[in-house]
Amino acid sequence: QPVIGVLALQGDTEEHLRVLRGIGATAVPVTAPGELDQVQGLVLPGGESTTMSKLAVRYGLLDPLRKRVRAGLPVYGTCAGMILLADRILDGTADQCTVGGIDMTVRRNAFGRQTESFEGAVDIDGVDGGPVDAVFIRAPWVESVGAEVSVLGRLPADGGAAGRIVAVRQGSLLATSFHPELTGDARIHRLFVDIVKGTA
């Protein structure tokens, strides 16, 4: 049984821990480099990406995070966590840094005022049983991806922000613009646990 960490600097850490434990995973909060060493997978929660990256620097976690991701640690980022996994960001703050790892450009707060928060049904490749109920809160979208990145989900073609990319995977790195930890639908967390186990 792999140990899955949830970065616990800021954001909705508790919700991720609850969902992971609910599906039988061993999940622990991570606030220090020594704790990061103990995990076989990591979730970067939703919250505020600028605050989270500043705290990661202050807690001495940014470089260890970058190293582990480069060494192949499976990571799942939701919303702010997706921003942290992006190699490039648009509309970040001047000094905003990321962990990186996914060859994608992510636009922060992409949906603008009208749709700062909304909910919608999104089909996710590799997730069976119908669309996921996706909650977007001041969410980013993925503006463009490199050749190694698989697009797993897009907004429907007939709504606002039609066809925008909101779920991606590159190797064992997974990211969604939305927050499955808030809806009680554990299917994407299950997919991530399978990625950590090497079975997905």
**Of the residues 35, 79, 97, 116, which is catalytic?**
79
Distance CA 85, CA 75 (A): 8
Q: Which residues partner with 26 through β-bridges?
A: 3
The reply to whether 97 belongs to the active site is no
* CB-CB neighbours of 154 under 10 Å: 18
CB of 108 to ligand GLN, least distance (A): 4
Identify which of residues 170 and 176 has a Cβ nearer to ligand GLN in the complex.
Answer: 176
Would you tell me which residues interact with ligand GLN (CB under 6 A)? Answer: 46-49, 79-80, 83, 108-109, 137-138
- The 3-state DSSP class for residue 80 equals helix
Distance CA 163, CA 140 (A): 14
Asked if residue 108 belongs to a known ligand binding site, the reply is yes
CB of 181 to ligand GLN, least distance (A): 11
Asked if residue 137 belongs to a known ligand binding site, the reply is yes
- The 3-state DSSP class for residue 164 equals coil
Residue count (the chain): 200
The reply to whether 179 belongs to the active site is yes
**Of the residues 15, 97, 119, 181, which is catalytic?**
181
Identify the DSSP state of 149: P
Identify which of residues 108 and 154 has a Cβ nearer to ligand GLN in the complex.
Answer: 108
Residues annotated in the binding site for L-glutamine, as ranges?
47-49, 108, 137-138
Catalytically active residues are 79, 179, 181
